[in-house]
Copies of this chain bind each other. A is one copy, B any other.
Amino acid sequence: MFNDFKITEGRPVYIQLKEYLKRMITNGHLLEHQKLPSTRELGSLLSISRNTVLTAYADLEQEGLIYAVKGKGNFVSHVEIFKSPSIQLNWTEKVNEQTFLADELDLMKHGVRWNKEMISFNSIAPDEKLFDVENFKRAFLNRMSIEGDIVLNYGYAKGYKPLIEYLLHYMEIKGVDTRNKDVLITNGFTEGLDIILSSLNKKSGRVICENPTNDSALKLFRLHGYEIDGIEMENDGVNVSQLETFLSKKEYDFAYLIPSYHNPTGIVTSSKKRKEIMDLFSAYQLPIVENGFNEELRYSGSHLASLASFAGQGNHVIYISSFSKILFPGIRVGWIVADKELIYYLESVKRARTIHTSTLDQAVLYQYLNDGYFEKYIKKAKSVYKKKYELTVHYCKQYIPFKRITGDGGLHLFIELENHIDSGKLLEKCYQKGVVFLPGNVFHTDSSGNHTLRLGFSRLKEREIIQGIKIIGDTLKIIMEAKK
């Protein structure tokens, strides 16, 4: 007895002993009224101090698991260890269709599994080696010293007030007219979109968006039962005349657009096209959900206004964003900027579902932004990603026989191969050579994207980028040769 007690480092020993004994009592290995060894005995048996045993016993007594008899020692209390008849439900029979769909569309579960030795172009997460952890710590300590107890207690569904004010100001600087607008803080972009989809009336049950578009939005549209019409992407943004044709023929509940560094094509919609798009949606009185994705990451070039700023005093744009592709996605903070009235409703949906987003995360992010660390960080991030971007483009052009390559910067490129090439099959071959990427079909609203692929380069080292692209190119050439 007691010889399977093992001490793990980094956790107080009295707690480990207490938990060990508690477990023996609750699972019936120590019986009611059984006498425990004296503190001296147990200490010597386990080679720990007698005081440690004393503290553990005192805690167990306080929790009602053991009792002390003066002059006699410590004994196990009466503990109900009765188990009710064990029943086995078949949970697969108990979950609904939507849940099966969520499982089926779960790329993390069903996508190609890769390991750390491989070169993966899958990710468009930021490179964590760029994070200025020191300034993040500073922001944390700074905020905690200002209002640590407040930050750790319940907050408000709408969000942490200083952050809300910061973001309203931030959007104003971007040219957004924030009068009659408000902010809701969410657990990242994804929760923002999910709350909107859960809250809006489904009238036509149809959404119009770019084709391809980002997979997590597509997944949510499908889970919410929307029909999806996708409009083809030209090099300066969506095909506006095709968009107009669709709008004139069918009713839509809303449009979903990613004007900057569009995921997956990497295309930045031109200013001219933004105006055309906005005029069109004004004419059709159609709400737009704008994904502010990576707007902050523009390496250079002239200033581009978001659709939300083009809307002026209009209230039909719902702007959702987060810094998650640039800064600290591990803290899940995103935001929605929209009409005050709409935010009023969304706030209640947010409260019903998750009460509020972590106040700690919001407060530290606020401090980090306000102290100006973000400004410094984004400069460094831009220059690093720009270099990687240029390298990736250069070697794609050199090694990969593509039909079209798009991507104006950001964290990824998109490649269209000859129509008869299946990028899924290409992936299978590349996988064997230690390289993975995302086949483009998961981004498409229809079955048109089998010959496309997305290359995320943000987390790769330069030599990995070059080596990976060469392998993809060489493998592709072999496939093309065989098809001839």
Contacts and interface: CB of A to CB of B under 8 A. Distances in A.
A10 B183 CA distance: 23
A191 B351 contact: no
A459 to B, nearest CB: 9
Interface string A301-329: 11111000111111110000000100011
B315 A91 contact: yes
A97 to B, nearest CB: 8
Contact of A330 (B89, B95, B353, B359): B359
A406 to B, nearest CB: 21
Contact of A302 (B77, B89, B91, B99): B77
B109 A136 contact: no
A105 B379 CA distance: 46
A11 B370 contact: yes
A contact residues, range:
35 or more
B87 A285 contact: yes
Contacts of A151: 330
A358 to B, nearest CB: 5
Interface string A172-210: 111100000000000110110010001111100000000
A287 B89 CA distance: 8
A387 interface: no
A86 B26 contact: no
Contacts of A356: 332
A108 interface: yes
Contacts of A108: 156-157, 351
A98 interface: yes
Interface stretch (A140-148, A226-234, A432-440): A140-148
A103 interface: yes
A149 B133 contact: yes
Nearest to A180: B88
A332 B348 contact: no
Contacts of A329: 152-154
Most buried by B among A125, A169, A305: A305
A175 B23 CA distance: 6
A371 to B, nearest CB: 7
Contacts of A332: 354-358
B131 A152 contact: yes
Contacts of A404: none
Contacts of A136: 144, 148, 152
A65 B39 CA distance: 74
One complex includes copies of this chain to the number of: 2
Interface in A403-462: none
Q: Which of A99, A137, A283 is the most central at the interface, judged by chain B CB atoms within 10 Å of its CB?
A: A99
Contacts of A275: 80, 82, 84
Contact of A133 (B65, B85, B144, B187): B144
A99 B64 CA distance: 46
A27 interface: yes
B342 A91 contact: yes
Contacts of A150: 128, 330
A106 interface: yes
Nearest to A304: B80
Nearest to A150: B128
Interface of A: 10-12, 15, 19, 22-23, 25-27, 59, 62-65, 77-89, 91-96, 98-100, 102-103, 105-106, 108-109, 125-126, 128-129, 131, 133, 136-137, 140-141, 144, 148-157, 169, 172-175, 187-188, 190-191, 194, 198-202, 216, 219-220, 223, 271, 274-275, 278-279, 281-283, 285, 287, 298, 300-305, 309-316, 324, 328-332, 339, 341-342, 344-349, 351-361, 364, 370-372, 375, 379
23 contacts: A26-B174, A27-B175, A65-B303, A77-B303, A81-B305, A82-B310, A83-B310, A83-B312, A84-B278, A86-B282, A91-B342, A95-B201, A106-B347, A125-B153, A136-B148, A150-B330, A152-B328, A153-B329, A187-B355, A223-B352, A331-B359, A358-B360, A361-B361
The 10 closest A-B pairs by CB, nearest first: A83-B312, A26-B175, A84-B278, A330-B359, A128-B149, A12-B372, A133-B148, A86-B314, A64-B302, A91-B342
Given A102-B348, A108-B157, A140-B140, 8 more contacts: A86-B311, A87-B282, A99-B198, A103-B344, A128-B149, A153-B330, A190-B355, A361-B361
